[in-house]
Structure 1
């Protein structure tokens, strides 16, 4: 029986996971990536990536199934056992892994390490990487296959997976529209070296100007997240290190020890959702399908849930590019993705509003939620597993 042929456009975390998933299921997979990486070099490097993801237990299990956790466990891996949200110190909502009888809630892992650990599986599963710098020119489709044309080069497959990010060229070429908006705020990530033992709690504080968060990486490193007005963050980004440190001290809850700033960067924030997840034999996954407010670090987790859902649907079918299977995938993921996007927006806008009645209500909510017992534990299980049980 002839093997199904797949082209994955985009070799980031989600695209690489999709490639390995389908290769393990017997497909012949090619990855088109404009910036190929040296996975072994990245995994051996001491350079810390400022971009970090909060990987939940669902994503951890997927990465383990794909063989990536073996490499990550030998690299910089930081499990966290507690997650705290608060507006005023004392009125907090604390989630603890002990409440649901598990060893940890998730891991804080550098994005480049996740990507590299997945790329390490490419050779084992005969995944070919095509280094193509030019933008895609044409997509041709027939009832039997789909072809991507880059200049004079043509690449055909039974299925093309667009994993090329929020500004997806493939999505645009397939005439798939999006709905969404740019948030007024931007986000600054600050990589710090913390003079303290390994931290087990990640926390987020809601402030009138936007939330701030602490993400404990493998000691001695941690990542600070600062949401605020775009112009203000650009000004902060240009400050000398000592002045930026003072601003952090004044605007963040006390950290566990003294710290030094290693690196910082400012990112725009956007929400968008593709009007459809497929067009013929082309299907969208990850940020190409949906970008979410990164308030709770759920973006890549949603992308990995796309990978698992699409892979499971295609595992037992003959024609993996048939529209009926791709629509089945969209039906299984659209509602869950939209729910998480809406929850993050409700939290973002609800806690940024300084109306006195609303301020009283949300502090009351945090107090009540912290003592909600089974309800709180259900929310925690959903957050770490991505499944409503």
Structure 2
């Protein structure tokens, strides 16, 4: 998705729309890619929670209109609580003067919308299916054939070379590696990365609830968080982060047993629901006059009851990873190829789209002044800006994962205190919400240096 967003962004901007762009993907190009999924039917379990900043980027590319006409579910609030029952916090979009905190959208809908827009623009070459065999400096190879019309036929100076598994050669001023956490591009060009396994897997599937809702729910358990996301109507998506052994058991049990386990994880076991006691000052009219957020005056609400499992269950391993450098001469990394985070706050895909938006803007600035778009000094401007965005978010998500994986009395009380601080201290809550929405608020000190 992030790679398609880069191509779409370049094609939309008047400064870069004349660039020759090729998108390479190992998956076959099917008609279904251009056909937006029908609104009826059970939603796919692979979804993303898009922040307003990501939606704005998609709107600027005129890709959001395809999503808005298809299935997508806004959520206007979020409730997070601890398994001990000692604390909870609520976040409402109205706390920061908004109508939504974000939108839950199936990944296939996002990808289809991007390619629909790409097809409308008619700007690019789509090379599907194809796998990258090598990325290197431009050298002629007797065993490889050169695609007609490429720059390699005349002058390859200052160009990166991409060799495909069928022997075809492509040459470009810039190669964008958007090939995921196990990025071949990153490895081929020697950009090293740090990686830490969480020894967890995230299980996902589509569920049915007893009633409609527009709230995201998340409960932290000792084995990891379980989150329920609205998908429209009575459809919901679950992202359950847990141990590999429990994930295996959850995938292989009957639908009925799985539904029972989900309800137990949300409302049973470990501890009671948090107390809904609200300090008198906050609940009084004076609290409203003083600017106390609406969510600070709302009691804890039990999550919806799960009634059915509607899709196959799938899981994937969780890890924290970060490339030490995002760029080298004529090659740059975006999305999961540059960084991966724990899904507990759904920020991974939004960081990736943030990479895409920043890279497009930097390349536009380069084109405007006549710079080589593959020049490392230009690409390092993108790297510096995105590291300042990505590293703090990654550290926060990793800190949450660490803090909630410990079941110890003093730590439990410290977590409860943190929950109450965010729940009842409105300025902090507004800052947290704005930061998570990607709308300009920052938790980074002004003089922060990497």
TM-score, normalised relative to structure 1: 0.92
Q: 407, 411, 424: which one pairs with 1:371?
A: 424
Residues in 2 aligned to 1:161 and 1:57: alpha-carbon distance in whole angstroms: 25
Pair 1:207-2:207 in alignment: no
- Shift of residue 351, structure 1, vs aligned partner: 1.3
Contact kept? 1:67, 1:118, Cα under 8 Å: no
Residues in 2 aligned to 1:290 and 1:298: alpha-carbon distance in whole angstroms: 11
Residues in 2 aligned to 1:39 and 1:98: alpha-carbon distance in whole angstroms: 36
Pair 1:340-2:393 in alignment: yes
- The answer for the alignment partner of 2:87 in structure 1 is 91
Q: 7, 18, 24: which one pairs with 2:12?
A: 24
Bigger Rg, which one = 2
Q: Which moved more, 1:200-209 or 1:143-152?
A: 143-152
- Shift of residue 287, structure 1, vs aligned partner: 0.4
Contact kept? 1:136, 1:170, Cα under 8 Å: no
Residues in 2 aligned to 1:281 and 1:237: alpha-carbon distance in whole angstroms: 43
Deviations 1:227-274 (A, max 9, x none): 211011101211111111121121123542452101211111011101
Pair 1:152-2:148 in alignment: no
Contact kept? 1:166, 1:288, Cα under 8 Å: yes
Map residues 250-261 of structure 1 onto 2, 5 A cutoff. 250-253=264-267, 255-261=303-309
Deviations 1:72-118 (A, max 9, x none): 11111111110121115572111111111111110011111011100
- The answer for the alignment partner of 2:310 in structure 1 is 262
- Shift of residue 168, structure 1, vs aligned partner: 0.7
Contact kept? 1:272, 1:292, Cα under 8 Å: yes
Q: 383, 386, 402: which one pairs with 1:349?
A: 402
- The answer for the alignment partner of 2:137 in structure 1 is 140
Residues in 2 aligned to 1:374 and 1:31: alpha-carbon distance in whole angstroms: 44
Residues in 1 aligned to 2:414 and 2:307: alpha-carbon distance in whole angstroms: 35
The structure richer in strand per residue is 1
Contact kept? 2:226, 2:238, Cα under 8 Å: yes
Residues in 2 aligned to 1:303 and 1:187: alpha-carbon distance in whole angstroms: 19
Contact kept? 1:86, 1:206, Cα under 8 Å: yes
- Shift of residue 152, structure 1, vs aligned partner: 2.5
Contact kept? 2:36, 2:113, Cα under 8 Å: no
Map residues 136-285 of structure 1 onto 2, 5 A cutoff. 136-141=133-138, 144-150=158-164, 151-197=166-212, 199-253=213-267, 255-263=303-311, 264-285=313-334
Q: 50, 59, 62: which one pairs with 1:55?
A: 50
| Structure 1 gaps, min length 5 | 1-12
1:350–1:383 distance in 2 versus 1, CA, 3 Å: same
> Structure 1 residue runs of 4+, over 6 Å off?
none
Deviations 1:26-83 (A, max 9, x none): 2221100111343333433745211111100000100111112111111111111101
Map residues 35-54 of structure 1 onto 2, 5 A cutoff. 35=27, 36-37=29-30, 38-44=32-38, 46=41, 48-54=43-49
- Shift of residue 121, structure 1, vs aligned partner: 1.0
Residues in 2 aligned to 1:196 and 1:137: alpha-carbon distance in whole angstroms: 52
Contact kept? 1:122, 1:128, Cα under 8 Å: no
- The answer for the alignment partner of 1:106 in structure 2 is 102
Output the aligned Cα RMSD. 1.7
Contact kept? 2:262, 2:306, Cα under 8 Å: no
Count of aligned residue pairs for this structure pair? 376
Residues in 2 aligned to 1:207 and 1:32: alpha-carbon distance in whole angstroms: 40
SS at match of 2:224: coil
TM-score, normalised relative to structure 2: 0.80
| Structure 2 gaps, min length 5 | 139-155, 268-301, 443-450
Residues in 2 aligned to 1:216 and 1:328: alpha-carbon distance in whole angstroms: 38
Q: Which moved more, 1:254-263 or 1:242-251?
A: 254-263
